[in-house]
């Protein structure tokens, strides 16, 4: 879609928490997407030499299509420069300095001319489990990093006991309600749990029956739906894409009937499991003639509307840890508009 906004992930966290290791992990493992990583200093990243094709004063190009760029002017100017490059970039990651509150960086994307081109996907905050400060002050940067993080990556878990990890998570729960916490070692985490990738990129996708045996790959071919649209057709179906990385799975749900906006809002406000880290969908509401693109990352979600270019339907994918698939499907099934209930 030409009007699709480029997702932006902000990586936040204190000095030594593992931000650079995470950036390297993304740069090495990103496939089929051209990602641009914006950093303050190249020297800090130490990119794998085998990946580098060419380097200039402020841009390093890698053989997997990713690029790494220094923020040598204002962030706004650097992002604009990246967007103006002839080679199309699919994804943008910005690393904040360890001493920075991520909110002003987020506001750069939310309150500028970039809003027409990019959307803030999520703020990921890395937390050093080995050096966690239990005496965080409300005014401290570390406190803000936790408070504004959509997904909290509790890193260096191999260096501390389970008892300390539980104590840290308890402390974080006192700072924010239902935080999305991922535990990691060496910042290694499945990319689809922290970035808006690997789900679907177009509105003409389908789930194949053999998905369970085909970890992570999706069929992006166009697919014409043959669902009847009359009011008695309650057809909905779903296939699960199972990616058993530390208990992570994804649930997909599809129906040829519209959702009730009120019911879906209630699902987001009151029912959605805190174990769901990401969700993406193309949604059809009975109250609207427009197609709605839905993104959820941590607690942050967005609904952007576009014109329908294909037959109307609902398609949603959710990724999380230890999910109760049947409950989620039942909850989404209940979101369908029912004229008798809502008359």
pLDDT digits (tens, 9 = 90+) for 287-310: 999 999 898 888 888 888 889 988
209-334 adopts what CATH topology? Hypothetical Protein Yjia; Chain: A;domain 2 (3.30.1220)
CA distances in angstroms from 114 to 13, 72, 300, listed in the order given: 24, 18, 19
Q: Within the chain, which residues score under 50 in pLDDT? A: 1-3, 198-245
Q: Does the domain formed by 6-194 have CATH 3.30.300.30? A: no
Answer yes or no: are the C-beta atoms of 89 and 78 closer than 8 Å: no
Structural Rg of the chain based on CA atoms: 21
Which residues, including other chains, have CB under 8 Å from residue 206's CB and lie 6 or more apart? 219, 221, 223
Answer yes or no: are the C-beta atoms of 193 and 323 closer than 8 Å: no
Answer yes or no: are the C-beta atoms of 154 and 46 closer than 8 Å: no
> Domain map of the chain by residue range?
6-194, 209-334
Answer yes or no: are the C-beta atoms of 260 and 335 closer than 8 Å: yes
Residue recorded with tokens 């530390």: 246
C-beta atoms surrounding 322 within 10 Å: 10
Q: What integer pLDDT is reported at residue 161 of this predicted model?
A: 96
Which residues, including other chains, have CB under 8 Å from residue 157's CB and lie 6 or more apart? 129, 165, 183, 184, 185
């Amino acid at each position: 879609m030409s009007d699709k906004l480029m997702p932006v992930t902000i990586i936040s966290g204190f000095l030594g928490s593992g931000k650079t290791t995470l950036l390297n992990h993304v740069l090495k493992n990103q496939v089929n997407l051209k990602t641009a990583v914006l950093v303050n200093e190249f020297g800090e990243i130490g990119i794998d030499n085998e990946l580098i094709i060419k380097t200039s004063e402020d841009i390093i190009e890698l053989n997997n299509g990713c690029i790494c760029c220094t923020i040598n002017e204002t962030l706004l100017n650097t992002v604009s420069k990246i967007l103006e490059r002839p080679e199309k970039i699919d994804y943008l990651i910005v690393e904040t300095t360890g001493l920075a509150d991520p909110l002003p960086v987020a506001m750069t994307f939310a309150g500028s001319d970039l809003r027409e081109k990019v959307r803030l996907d999520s703020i990921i905050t890395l937390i050093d489990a080995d050096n966690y400060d239990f005496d965080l002050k409300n005014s401290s940067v570390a406190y803000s990093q936790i408070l504004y993080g959509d997904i909290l990556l509790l890193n260096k878990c191999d260096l501390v006991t389970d008892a300390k990890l539980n104590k840290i998570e308890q402390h974080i729960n006192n700072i924010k309600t239902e935080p999305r916490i991922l535990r990691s070692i060496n910042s290694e985490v499945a990319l689809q749990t922290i970035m808006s990738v690997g789900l679907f990129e177009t509105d003409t996708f389908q789930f194949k029956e053999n998905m369970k045996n085909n970890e992570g790959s999706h069929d992006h071919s166009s697919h014409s739906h043959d669902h009847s649209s009359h009011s008695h057709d309650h057809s909905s179906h779903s296939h699960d894409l199972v990616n058993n990385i530390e208990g992570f799975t994804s649930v997909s749900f599809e129906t040829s009937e519209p959702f009730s906006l009120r019911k879906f809002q209630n699902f987001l406000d009151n029912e959605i499991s805190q174990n769901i880290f990401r969700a993406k969908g193309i949604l059809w509401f009975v109250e609207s003639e427009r197609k709605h693109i839905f993104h959820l990352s941590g607690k942050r979600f967005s609904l952007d509307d576009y014109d329908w270019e294909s037959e109307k339907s609902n398609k949603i994918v959710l990724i999380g840890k230890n999910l109760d698939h049947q409950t989620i499907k039942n909850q989404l099934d209940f979101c369908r508009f029912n004229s008798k209930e809502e008359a």
